Amino acid sequence: MVKKRNFLFFFISALVAVLIFVVIFLITSENILQSPGNKEVSINGIGSSLEKTNVQLKGSLAIIIIDDFENRISETVYYIQIEESDGLKEYQLIFKKGKEPGGISGQEIDAIGKLEGEKFFVEEYNLYTPLKDPNINIGAIGVQKTAVILYNDRTHKDERLTKEEVWHKVFNLSYNQSINSYIKEISYNKTWLEGDVFGVYTLPCDARKRDPPCYSGGWEGREAIMDIADPDIYFPNYSRIIAIPVNICCVGFSTIGKSIVQTEDGRVFLSYLKVGWADIDRGTGSHEFGHSLGVMHANDYECGEKVVEDNCETLEYGDGFDQMGQCFDIKHCGHFNPVHKEFLGFFDNFTLMKIEDDGIYRIVPYELLSNNLQVLKIPVTYILNWHENSSYFYLYYRQPIGFDSRYSNLSGVMINIDSTLVYYGRRDGKSRLLDFSPHSDNEVPQREDSNDVVLRKGERYVNDRYGFSIEVLEENGEYAEVSIQGL
């Protein structure tokens, strides 16, 4: 009996000790979560007292891209837009290198990190809405109501273009180099621009001294330009803004898709781009409008003497057959590649087909408005940046038709890799063009190598890693037949 009592005593004591430990742990955990170094903060009520502490922000992502065409580099800048007690607030998000989210403006983001002034240094984050989720209203199909705002600075009031000339270069479908003509053709008549031209407005700054907002390509310029035009524009009537400095020739800047903008007319969801007066009807105007619709750059996938290998080099702007690639220094270049067209919704179910079975497939020229098959989407898995990703080969038949007519010798099958990939919650949104006539850097210049990429009649590509092959059996200008085996 004594042994049983002792056992019961020790059992009850141990149970009480465990319960006390659990209570202490829960209290301590709650205190840790609320301690100054790890404070979790809701969307409202962010103040200076929280700087340099761990906080949590939830809001809407806004992404801008600044193109440096001369040096062939670009900078992508991220903001989080959140609701505070005094209205909409934007903080610049600073991500660790290689951990940027990619994505498109309008995605919901939940980020934890340190707030320092107007910048938020991100330690970890989650994107609530996948890039291709239908709940994100990309709005790339149908009429794009566009307001064009012309402006200069106080020291340069000369006007290189009239409002009528700007309307001609942006909207006129009878002019084959207008932004509207390009977008309507490459979307197979699914997307077009309508709108108005406003200005010229004079900003109170000096572009020669690089004063913001005259010189700035960022948010400062957007706010000042839209504010000065606000009395004349009812912004809820528009979904796209194009800002054109009439005294600065060369500038390229855009949001990636639409973001929230506060105006005197209330909050609107729209895209914003800036292009110099000399570049409206050159490649730059349509390049930036492509960003506004929601797509990133068209790049080259450089693998030396191989078509595809692990960890090849991605060349920014490297796709010379695509307006989102390296041809912004001349008149309009070729069509967007199918990775970007699919994302924007330009294909019909019968023009693009995901294939998983061996067979011989006939595809018609990519540039035509057609009821026939144009793009084959082949599922693959490959390594990019040392991570395994599920992706696709997009195979299509290019011909010198329409905006592709500048490529007079273009005739053959091309393939782009889908690189809107997800790893660690990150998407880069960029396409990669494969080169089926690869050379080493010592044989031919890189740009020349990147312009000779098609798979021609009688040529066969074998992917040794996955065991499938692609062979062009026929191509005659009207169609191409390809044999795909080993899937």
User: Residue-wise pLDDT tens for the chain (487 aa)?
Assistant: 444 445 555 555 666 565 655 444 444 433 323 333 333 444 444 444 455 578 999 999 999 998 877 777 888 999 999 988 888 899 999 999 878 887 889 889 999 999 999 999 999 998 876 554 444 567 899 999 999 999 887 776 666 788 999 999 999 999 999 999 999 999 999 999 999 999 899 887 776 666 666 665 566 678 888 889 999 999 999 999 999 988 766 678 899 999 988 888 988 999 999 988 878 887 889 999 999 999 998 888 877 777 876 677 777 788 888 999 876 555 668 999 999 999 999 999 899 999 989 999 999 999 999 999 999 999 877 665 666 666 788 999 999 999 998 888 788 899 998 764 433 334 577 888 888 876 655 554 555 555 678 899 999 999 887 788 999 999 999 999 999 998 8
**460 and 329 belong to one structural domain:** yes
Query: Is residue 161 domain-resident?
Result: yes
Asked if 288 contacts 252 with a C-beta cutoff of 8 angstroms, the reply is yes
Indicate the residue type of 158.
D
b (16+ CB within 10 A) / e for 231-244: eebebeebbbbbbb
* Residue among 321, 324, 317 at smallest CA distance from 71: 317
Query: Is residue 4 domain-resident?
Result: no
**345 and 378 belong to one structural domain:** yes
Q: 148 is in which domain, residue-wise? A: 142-293
Query: Is residue 344 domain-resident?
Result: yes
**444 and 303 belong to one structural domain:** yes
**163 and 277 belong to one structural domain:** yes
**179 and 321 belong to one structural domain:** no
Query: Is residue 6 domain-resident?
Result: no
Query: Is residue 28 domain-resident?
Result: no
Between CA 430 and CA 256 the distance in angstroms is 12
**332 and 453 belong to one structural domain:** yes
Q: What angle do CA 120, 125, 130 make, to 5 degrees?
A: 125
Which residues, other chains included, contact 351 with Cβ-Cβ below 8 Å and sequence gap of 6+? 370, 371, 372, 373, 374, 375
**160 and 84 belong to one structural domain:** no
For every residue of 117-166, which 3-state class applies, written as one string? CCEEEEEEEEECCCCCCCCCCCCCCEEEEEEEEEEEECCECCCCCCHHHH
The answer to pTM > 0.85 is: no
**391 and 262 belong to one structural domain:** no
Query: Is residue 430 domain-resident?
Result: yes
Asked if 259 contacts 60 with a C-beta cutoff of 8 angstroms, the reply is yes
Domain boundary among the residues 293, 313, 343 is at 293
Query: Is residue 25 domain-resident?
Result: no
Between CA 472 and CA 412 the distance in angstroms is 8
Neighbours of 23 (CB within 10 A): 10
Domain boundary among the residues 259, 274, 293 is at 293
Q: Would you put residue 29 in left (φ > 0), alpha (ψ -120 to 50) or beta?
A: alpha
Domain count, the chain: 3
Query: Is residue 29 domain-resident?
Result: no
Domain boundary among the residues 271, 293, 315 is at 293
